[in-house]
Chain A
Amino acid sequence: MKRIAKEPFLAVVMLFIISCLFLFVIYPIVRVFLYPSGKELITVLSHPRYIKAIFNSLFMVVLSTSSSAFVGFVFAYTIARTDVPLRKYFKLISLLPLFSPPFMVAFSYIMMFGKNGIITAKLLGLSVNIFGWHGLWLAQTIAFFPIAALMMEGVLQSIPPSLEYAGRNLGATGFTLFKTITFPLARPGVAGAALLVSIQVLADFGNPIMISGDFSVVATEAWMRIEGWADVSGAAILSLVLLVPSFSIFLFQRLWVGKKSYVTITGKSTQIDIRRIGSFMRWFLFAFCSVFSLLILLVYLALFMGAFVNGWGFDWTPTLRYVREIFSRSTEVTNSLVFSLLAGGGSALFSMVAAYLVSRKKFFLRRFVDFTCILPTALPGIFLGIGYSIAFTRPPVDLHGTAAIIILSLMFWNIAMGYQTGIGAFQQISPSFHEAASNLGASSMRIFKEIEIPLIKGPFFSAFIVSFIRAITTLSVIVFLATSKNVVATFSIMNLVSDGFYGKAAALTCSLLIIAFLVLGIAKLALGKRFELFKV
């Protein structure tokens, strides 16, 4: 406290961060909490349909999280620890599902694997019903394993290869080496990734709304309360219901896994050749990654085809008219790009400052900041959207129809990712630098500027990219906030889909995808090696 008094600027920053979190995270959540009446709460919660949906959601969490974590681990292991051929391409392809704007990706599963699907019916002559929990399982596994893979890759890379090397010198080989050294060291990271995936599975509405058929989950039920019945209270209650498991998962992650990291990062990776594995294992990993990469490519190929043919699923004549349509929608696409860049930047900036404060300073409400920065991950997008719509469309903060309301909502929805990365980064930087500089009389600011900033540039840009991608592809957050003045592309995609313009929707989705990939490419070019996604 004494030190804070000596540094008024630091105090201002803290106050700023804390009040922002109160205003833009806590306040909207409270507004949603207060919206439904107690009676409505009981009616919804005693409804058999919603009870079933709760069980279905939990079922999918177990199923999709396990499969995503498994596939993710195999990918991460292959990419980080082996010399399997084409592994660089596997990594590139596994980035694709990070960009999944609503509706259309799930739609291309139907095109590929439905009753009339190109693969299932045309190629294999099967009549498969993709609708249901199994179709959803496939779609969610593909959608969420990349996040798991990216996080686990970071964990695996940070395990000093010297340990494996030592194990090998002592005579351990192949699977024994993996079982006794690599996996135990990676376990906390693996668990952390799995828990993060499970929260996203719970909040996922884009996949189930298209392909879960009669199998209903809470996130889609909440959405349909709005879309089908204009029932804001019902949607709020179901979103609150969703918060219970995601919150428990989150607490579990913070309390149990968060503390059990064995990984120590020295910042200097030892260059020892560790890429020798048995040839059976090698080809197994190759086959496994190939199958999943092929699956992803097919799904995205279907999406692109949708943009270039007359009628998706019945008339395969090529056409350019849907692509031309995009130019008349340049406002939405530009808005999407600008808003998401600003939200991504704001989110990365905010979360780095917050992460710096939490990991380097002791102050009042430190735990509150820590908690509130992670909280938005657990929120279904529509929950935050409803909250902003109630909270910020009236004085004193009236942002109705502005760019600001969209940018702020996307920014604060995404702070968790950047914050996690930031905390990880600050923990890697030894505080001894900091103490040394401080003892020599440097102020907090000077330390931050001269020691910390150069070291956290990489994580900052990772946070920026991840927030940007999530911002540009989300619909659920902005559906309650967009008007014709601040319309974004995902909003138009929704309208095109409900209007039956699937070709145009596919073309618009593809253009978003290309933009997101361009931004990713530019970041990679500008930053080179320092740019790493999701290194935790």
Chain B
Amino acid sequence: MKKMLLVLLVFLIAMSAFGAGQGETAEKKVVIYAALDEKTTSELAAAFKEATGFTAEIALQIEQAGTVAARIKTEASNPRADVLIGGNSNFHSDLARGGFLQKYTSPVIKEAGINPNLMDPDGYWTGWYLGALCLLYNEKLYNEKIKPLGLKPPTTWDDLLDPAYKGRVIASNPATTGGAYLMMAAQIFRLGSERAGFDYIRKLHPNVAQYTKGANGSIPLVSQGEAIVGFAWGHDTLKQKMQGNLPIVVVFPKDTGFEIGGASVLKGAPHAEAAKKFLDFLLSPAAGKINARNGYRYPVRGGVELPAGVPPFEQVKLAPWDLKKADENVDKWKKEWASITGM
């Protein structure tokens, strides 16, 4: 018994020793929570170090912005991170409303002539990239099932309404994911009114095989042939297509929706000054290039070289966009969507 307890005691003491020695000093560094892919995040950190001499420590990297933002909330009484990078602006607005962020407007915005409409009107988050919504279809299945019917490949949102696609479209569920909510809102803004937008969703519904829980759920399902066509974030789709050689075709329909990728300084950040420096750095051409090259995202700063296969941003036609309205109507629009789809 004594031995057993001794082991248990030693064990717990050893564990608390793991915990000790964590004291942070005010050195030249910034601690990052990233809602981006692994490669982009680590390259950004390395480039920041090179540009400023500050160490950028990636404390957390999860693609899903919700999970990262939720961590910021549960750890709020003793914040560890300085910045949150990545994730659409709604996640940042949500954090700002909860009092988890501090205001910062980078001087680079003005210096570089970046569109101020891409920044938080309340001054909390900084928009540093854009992502547009795309259509994707399985090339083989299209050739087998749709082409013989005399239909052209899907290039517009209305193409998805054709009865030929009945049960062959993968959509996403706004009730489960903020990204999918933006995709739904895109229909409303694109068509000019709530009524027209929801009318589109009503017409699309019979064609939908599944509303995936995540915003990009259509990418694997269409690639594996579970359905013929779907929609997802263009940058994520392009990235996965290139890296995995997926048998899909990516199309940016005219009048498509988009998201603004945000970055913000956390309230109580241990290295707030370095955090602001990091935000300035994100708006630099160097950071934009890294982000475009690895993540296929459009930097807000113009004139940055884009990887092959990515259409220039100017060519992608965006629907008029009202972020504030999208943010204000979350509950109402989700409810309307649920009543149409019965989800």
Contacts and interface: CB of A to CB of B under 8 A. Distances in A.
A500 B219 contact: yes
Contacts of B91: 230
A437 to B, nearest CB: 13
A155 B236 CA distance: 51
Contact of B4 (A110, A129, A349): A349
Contacts of B219: 500
B60 A230 contact: no
A485 B19 CA distance: 12
Given A110-B226, A115-B225, A501-B244, A393 B59 contact: no
A315 B8 contact: no
A229 B70 CA distance: 8
A314 B219 CA distance: 13
Given A116-B224, A116-B225, A394 B78 contact: yes
B74 A390 contact: yes
B95 interface: yes
A403 B18 contact: yes
A353 B8 contact: yes
Interface in A449-494: 449, 453, 479-480, 482-485, 494
A400 B338 CA distance: 39
A314 B225 contact: yes
Contacts of A16: 5, 8-9
A315 B245 contact: yes
Interface in A309-324: 310-315
Interface in B68-107: 68-71, 73-75, 77-78, 80, 91, 94-95
Contacts of A48: 338
B239 A228 contact: no
Contacts of A111: 224
Interface in A372-403: 386, 389-390, 393-395, 398-403
B206 interface: no
Nearest to B42: A484
B15 A226 contact: no
Contacts of A116: 224-226
B240 A500 contact: yes
A49 interface: yes
Interface stretch (A143-151, A180-188, A191-199, A213-221): A213-221
A228 B63 contact: no
Contacts of A308: none
A49 B341 CA distance: 12
Nearest to B77: A394
A220 B66 CA distance: 14
Given A350-B8, A403-B15, A311 B244 contact: yes
A114 B95 CA distance: 39
Contact of A221 (B9, B38, B63, B176): B176
A40 interface: no
A232 interface: yes
B7 interface: yes
Given A13-B5, A399-B19, A401-B22, A230 B210 contact: no
Contacts of B95: 230
B78 A398 contact: yes
A226 B66 CA distance: 6
Query: A48, A111, A227, A349: which has the most chain B beta carbons within 10 Å?
Result: A227
- The A contact surface, by secondary structure, is helix
Contacts of A352: 4
Query: B9, B213, B214: which has the most chain A beta carbons within 10 Å?
Result: B213
B38 A499 contact: yes
Nearest to A386: B74
Given A115-B225, A230-B91, A500-B239, A389 B74 contact: yes
A502 B220 contact: yes
Interface string B210-253: 11011110011001111100000000100110011111000000
Given A229-B177, A235-B70, A495-B61, A501 B80 contact: no
A431 B239 CA distance: 66
A389 B223 contact: no
A408 interface: yes
Contacts of B60: 482-484
A500 B243 contact: yes
A390 to B, nearest CB: 5
Contact of A314 (B19, B65, B94, B224): B224
A310 B247 CA distance: 12
Contact of B62 (A232, A345, A485, A495): A495
B261 interface: no
B224 A114 contact: yes
B64 A227 contact: yes
Q: Give me the 8 closest cross-chain CB pairs, A-B, nearest first.
A: A228-B177, A500-B240, A230-B69, A116-B225, A313-B224, A394-B78, A224-B176, A404-B15
25 contacts: A49-B338, A115-B225, A116-B224, A116-B225, A131-B209, A131-B226, A214-B343, A216-B343, A227-B214, A228-B64, A228-B177, A228-B215, A230-B68, A232-B73, A311-B245, A313-B223, A346-B8, A349-B11, A389-B75, A398-B78, A449-B2, A483-B59, A484-B58, A495-B38, A503-B244
Interface of A: 9, 12-13, 16, 48-49, 110-111, 114-116, 129, 131, 209, 213-214, 216, 220-221, 224, 226-232, 235, 310-315, 342, 345-346, 349-350, 352-353, 386, 389-390, 393-395, 398-405, 407-408, 444-445, 448-449, 453, 479-480, 482-485, 494-495, 498-503
Given A216-B176, A398-B22, A500-B236, 6 more contacts: A9-B1, A224-B176, A229-B66, A312-B224, A353-B5, A389-B71
Interface of B: 1-5, 7-9, 11, 15-16, 18-19, 22, 37-38, 57-71, 73-75, 77-78, 80, 91, 94-95, 173, 175-180, 209-211, 213-216, 219-220, 223-227, 236, 239-240, 243-247, 338, 343
